[in-house]
Amino acid sequence: MQQHRKVVIIGAGAAGIGMAITLKDFGIDDCLILEKEEIGSSFKQWPKSTRTITPSFTSNGFGMPDMNAISKETSPAFTFNQEHVSGETYAKYLEVVAYHYGISIQTHTAVTQVSMEEGLYFIKTTQGDYTADYIFVATGDFQFPNKPFKYGIHYSEVTDFNEFDKGDYVVIGGNESGFDAAIQLAKNQSTISLYTRTTGLNDEDADPSVRLSPYTHQRLSQAIQQGALIEMNVHYSVSDINFQDGRYIIYFENGHEVQTVNEPILATGFDVTQNPIVQELFETTKQDVKLTLQDESTRYPNIFLIGATVENNHAKLCYIYKFRARFAVLAHELAQREGLPVNHQMIESYQMNQMYLDDYTCCDVACSC
């Protein structure tokens, strides 16, 4: 027997739980989150040394909620007394918040198929079937690393950088995860050669989705001051990686070759279009999901993409403080489609807390100094 819910959210991470909380604020209580593993499972799979690059601070009372909070009234900094929390700690924050708001979550439930019939969505899972009027896809991309080569350990596959022996390492990629890998590997006096086509190290764009974060800049500077051996090589595009006679051979498009006995670390990002659910419900191009200005599927109505994978009108929502600003806009949209009265007070509350981004054209980040 199929169970009907007004809204089904796929994924119990920051986006999924934050969206469910916001829907409740706008009077939409009939919401169920389906999670194939556990709450915050992607955060739990971060390397042990990885920390949030956005700082947490309890500035909520002044219209500036904690940058890592998924709701107006919560703060990881307040809960854990930490500024840059680990993935394991952030997952605990999500568990606490979900319990506090009474969010309905069914864990260990993988969605296997979604189909539409007469405007209603039929959702098959490993723990039973559901129907829904609206679907929010909040699966993220951490489970779908971009691995363009046969060899190489992707950053997301690393459990603990402390387990790596001292030696010479090659890191491919020049943004946040690439520099984090280099910094962590350098702690045991290893020598790291970082190769990248482009880098956000000193990009002129002030948008932290493009430019390397101050947190990573600071850690890199400290590591070098303490003697870290990190060599950076820009304008190098890897064409292939082979393994021969006990050594990994890295080939570059400019004809350059590098050999190393340790398997290269791939800081090559993620690809949400590898996700079968995304492939089924959205139009995709190469590493890109087509969306309306309401973050809605161009293939099916009433299906929305939320979270760090959303890129709309050239705005990249890859941080929590960015993508959470869309929750109330979409919740308001659903309330209107359901004919619910407009909650002006709630909208104003989200606007006052900088969590109501209804115009993507205002997302240019410009700093004069």
| Residue 132 token pair | 């829904």
Same domain, 177 and 289: no
Burial track 78-112 (b if 16+ CB lie within 10 A, e otherwise):
ebbebebbbbebbbbbbbebbeebebebbeebebe
CATH of the domain at 235: 3.50.50.60
Same domain, 333 and 261: no
Asked whether residue 364 is assigned to any structural domain, the reply reads no
Asked whether residue 25 is assigned to any structural domain, the reply reads yes
369 residues of the chain, pLDDT tens digit each: 689 999 999 999 999 999 999 999 999 999 999 999 999 999 999 999 999 999 999 999 899 999 999 999 999 999 999 999 999 999 999 999 999 999 999 999 999 999 999 889 999 999 999 999 999 999 999 999 999 999 999 999 999 999 999 999 999 999 999 999 999 999 999 999 999 999 988 888 888 888 999 999 999 999 999 999 999 999 999 999 999 999 999 999 999 999 999 999 999 999 999 999 999 999 998 879 999 999 999 999 999 999 999 998 888 899 999 999 999 999 999 999 999 999 999 999 999 999 999 998 877 776 666
Per-position DSSP letters for 297-341, written without gaps between them: BSSSTTEEE-STT-EETTEE--SHHHHGGGHHHHHHHHHHHTTPP
Q: Write down the pLDDT at residue 369.
A: 67
The span from the CA of 303 to the CA of 294, in Å, is: 10
Asked whether residue 244 is assigned to any structural domain, the reply reads yes
Asked whether residue 222 is assigned to any structural domain, the reply reads yes
Q: Name residues whose C-beta falls within 8 Å of residue 322's C-beta, 6 or more positions apart in sequence.
A: 209, 315, 316, 357
Asked whether residue 172 is assigned to any structural domain, the reply reads yes
C-beta separation of 248 from 150 below 8 A: no
C-beta separation of 291 from 179 below 8 A: no
Q: Write down the pLDDT at residue 223.
A: 95
The gap between the terminal CA atoms of the chain, to the nearest Å, is 61
Same domain, 44 and 128: yes
Please count the other Cβ atoms lying within 10 Å of the Cβ belonging to residue 40: 25
Same domain, 126 and 41: yes
Same domain, 258 and 292: no
Asked whether residue 367 is assigned to any structural domain, the reply reads no
Using the 3D structure, point to which of 226, 242, 266 is the last residue of a domain. Answer: 266
Asked whether residue 331 is assigned to any structural domain, the reply reads yes
Q: Write down the pLDDT at residue 368.
A: 67
What is the number of structural domains in the chain?
2
The span from the CA of 166 to the CA of 158, in Å, is: 16
Same domain, 133 and 276: yes
Range of the domain at 178: 153-266
Same domain, 245 and 278: no
| For the chain, the helix, strand and coil percentages under 3-state DSSP, each to the nearest 5 | 30, 25, 45
Same domain, 274 and 262: no
Same domain, 132 and 43: yes
Q: Name residues whose C-beta falls within 8 Å of residue 219's C-beta, 6 or more positions apart in sequence.
A: 180, 183
Using the 3D structure, point to which of 247, 266, 285 is the last residue of a domain. Answer: 266
Same domain, 132 and 31: yes
Same domain, 213 and 321: no
The span from the CA of 261 to the CA of 47, in Å, is: 22
Using the 3D structure, point to which of 266, 290, 313 is the last residue of a domain. Answer: 266
In angstroms and rounded to an integer, the radius of gyration of the C-alpha atoms of the chain is 22
Asked whether residue 365 is assigned to any structural domain, the reply reads no
Same domain, 211 and 321: no
